[in-house]
Amino acid sequence: MREGFQIGPLTIRYYALIIMAGVLLAAWLATVEAKRKGKDPEYIWDMLPWLVIGGIIGARLWHIFTPDAESVKAGITTAWYLKHPLDALAIWKGGLGIPGAVIGGCVALLIYAKQKKQSFLEWADIVVPGLAVAQAVGRWGNFINQEVYGLPSDLPWAIYIDPAHRIKELASVERYHPLFLYESLLNLLAAGILLIIGRKYKEKLLNGDLFLIYLILYPVIRFGLEFLRLVISPVAGININQTTMAVIAVVAAAILIFRHAQKPKTQPEEILLSEATSIVNEIEPESPEEGFNDEELQSEELDEIEQK
């Protein structure tokens, strides 16, 4: 399978085009969400370069510090990258980690929001449905590169992997789980859930809730799919991607539950009493001098009648 095409001396890779398509689709969806929440959608296009650069840097650093097992076997470790800094910059050779991309994007958004005096949590809620869509689209770049496939499989939807892209231990095995497809479909489902929750429960949501829900949904997806991965990223003997996802999902769920448990609950009776008191205070005169005295009014009316 061809991985790109030539325009003169320049090689245009399909993987890069797919990633950019996902980014633009995510940005468009974020503008829709921004308008729905009464925010200026121009902020999205203004912050987009920040998010893309932060995401790429974070994704590359994640790969460098958590190389997969096959890279380690080939001698491409963190220490090797530190000794070969130019190769550390060669993202076109592969090696981008989604957990790092999310972290890098969050750092970039935090810096941007602080400079523009905007709410990080509010904009994070606006961005995350599109982020899930971008991840769903971007995974098809893995299909083009014949990477991120799972365990051998004889299921009807199992995909064929070229011999050049198979790991040595399974060189004779032709068909595998389309792990990229599973993650793509589940990310689309996550995006749909975020959009539905954002609309159906908008009166009950706090700023940052959708962001926290995303930090539950995607880590759960990734945690489960790691069981089907052929090549993991071991750090100190553990699958660092799976372990990190488990920790993030648990912490995000705990924060979400805690912040709503602490949310003050006002009873309907208290609301009505407060509104009634406010109305009475507006109608009631501030002092006896400024108000009406019924007895004085009746006395004045009797005096006028007697005079007549």
For the stretch 244-265, pLDDT in tens is 999 999 999 999 999 988 755 5
The residue that leads in pLDDT, 192 or 72, is: 192
pLDDT at residue number 266: 47
Contacts with 252 (C-beta within 8 Å, 6 or more apart), sequence order: 212, 213, 215, 216, 219
Please name the residues in contact with 187: beta carbons below 8 A apart, sequence gap of 6 or more.
132, 133, 135, 136, 139, 218, 221
What is the structure's pLDDT at 198? 95
How many residues in the chain? 308
Mean pLDDT in residue range 119-132: 96
Mean pLDDT of 74-98: 79
- What does pLDDT average to over the chain? 85
pLDDT at 155: 95
Beta-carbon-side half-sphere exposure of residue 241 (alpha carbons within 13 Å): 28
CA terminus-to-terminus distance, the chain: 112
71 closest CA partner among 89, 94, 55, 90:
94
The proportion of the chain whose per-residue pLDDT surpasses 90, expressed as a percent, equals 56
Q: Greater confidence, 42 or 165?
A: 42
Query: Mean pLDDT, to the nearest integer, of 99-110?
Result: 94
Contact 44, 26 (CB under 8 A): no
CA distance 181 to 179: 5
Q: Where are the alpha helices (DSSP H) in the chain?
A: 14-36, 42-65, 69-73, 78-83, 85-89, 98-116, 120-145, 179-200, 209-225, 240-261, 268-283, 294-307
Which is higher by pLDDT, 96 or 35? 35
From CA 288, how far away is CA 53, in angstroms rounded?
Answer: 68
Task: Out of 195-204, 210-219, 268-277, pick the least confident.
Answer: 268-277
Q: According to the model, what pLDDT value does residue 307 have?
A: 52
The residues near 134 (Cβ < 8 Å, ≥ 6 apart) are 22, 23, 25, 26
Whether residue 210 contacts residue 129, with contact meaning beta carbons closer than 8 Å, is answered with: yes
